[in-house]
Amino acid sequence: MLSHCLAQSCPEPERVIQGLQELMINAVEHGNLGISYAEKGELMLSGAWLDEIQRRLSLPEFNRRFVMVHFQRLPDKIVFTVQDQGDGFDWQDFMDFSPERVFDLHGRGIAMARLTSFDRLEYQGNGNTVSAVVNGVSSFYGFEN
């Protein structure tokens, strides 16, 4: 629901919704709950993925973690920053589609967000913070260039 609300600030909300969803879901599942790429694949195959998310959400080491989403509207762009409280990850391998992961049940969200939802997607630091940029919003809000 939050991605739908935030996307309404963009000239093409339908383009941005899925990208925001992917970034926020990754922040919770992989960041805050520490579910690795391999673990998620195994959990999905066994049908235990949602149960494991619920289980981890109740564990003391995870249940106080949160994801922070920062929204900034500038005259020429909108910047969404999503930050989780996890250990980060090696994000470079997920910015583009990988032939090695083409048949996996997951693992395409970041590349899809970068290629279809945002004009720029940048991870910072250890990978627990990502900024997603939507350009060209000045005419949408009636700003003069």
Could you tell me the two tokens for 97?
């589609």
Higher pLDDT, 138 or 142: 138
> Residue 127: helix, strand or coil by DSSP?
coil
Residue 145 confidence class, pLDDT cut points 50, 70, 90: very low
Give the integer Cα–Cα distance in Å for 50 and 117.
26
The phi-psi region of residue 34 (left if phi > 0; otherwise alpha if psi is between -120 and 50; otherwise beta) is: left
Residue 2 has pLDDT above 90, yes or no: yes
Residue 120 confidence class, pLDDT cut points 50, 70, 90: very high
pLDDT tens, residue by residue, 17-68: 999 999 999 999 999 999 998 999 999 999 999 999 999 999 999 999 999 9
Distances (CA, A) of 45 to 32, 42, 53: 22, 5, 15
pTM of structure: 0.88
Percent of the chain with pLDDT over 90: 74
Query: What is the mean predicted confidence (pLDDT) over 91-111?
Result: 76
Contact 110, 127 (CB under 8 A): no
Q: What's the alpha-carbon Rg for the chain, to the nearest Å?
A: 16
- For residue 20, what is the enclosing H or E element? helix 13-26
